[in-house]
Amino acid sequence: MRRLLFIGFAVPSLWLAPAATAGVDPQVAGLQVALRAFGVYTGPIDAIAGPATKRGVIRFQRRAGLPADGKVGPATRRAFGPLGGPLFGRRTLRLGLFGWDVSVLQFMLARRGELVPISGYFDARTRRALQIFQRARRLAADGVAGSRTLAAFRRPVPTAKKPVLVSAKSTTPATQVRSLLDYWSGRYGVDGKLVRALAWMESGYQTNLTSSAGAWGVMQILPVTWDYVETVLIGAKVPRTASGNIRVGVVFLRQLLREFGGDERKALAAWYQGPAAVRSRGILPESKVFVANVLALKSSKL
- The letter for the amino acid at 64 is A
Question: Going from the N-terminus, what domains does the chain have, and what CATH number goes with each?
Answer: 2-152 (1.10.101.10), 174-299 (1.10.530.10)
Beta-carbon contacts of 117 under 8 Å, excluding residues fewer than 6 positions away, are 106, 123, 125, 126, 202, 203, 204, 206, 209
Q: CA 72 to CA 57: how far, in whole Å?
A: 7
Per-residue pLDDT of the chain (302 residues; tens, 9 = 90+): 233 333 334 443 333 233 344 478 999 999 999 999 999 998 889 999 999 999 999 999 999 999 999 999 999 999 999 999 999 999 999 999 999 999 999 999 999 888 888 999 999 999 999 999 999 999 999 999 999 999 998 876 655 444 444 443 445 788 899 999 999 999 999 999 999 999 999 999 999 888 888 999 999 999 999 999 999 999 999 999 999 999 999 999 999 999 999 999 999 999 999 999 999 999 999 999 999 999 999 998 88
How confident is the model at residue 208, as a pLDDT?
Answer: 85
Q: Distances from the Cα of 90 to the Cαs of 5, 27, 162, 183, in angstroms?
A: 19, 12, 29, 39
Q: Which residues pair with 2 in a beta bridge?
A: 12
d(CA 245, CA 66): 36
| The pLDDT of residue 171 | 54
For residue 22, what pLDDT is reported?
A: 47
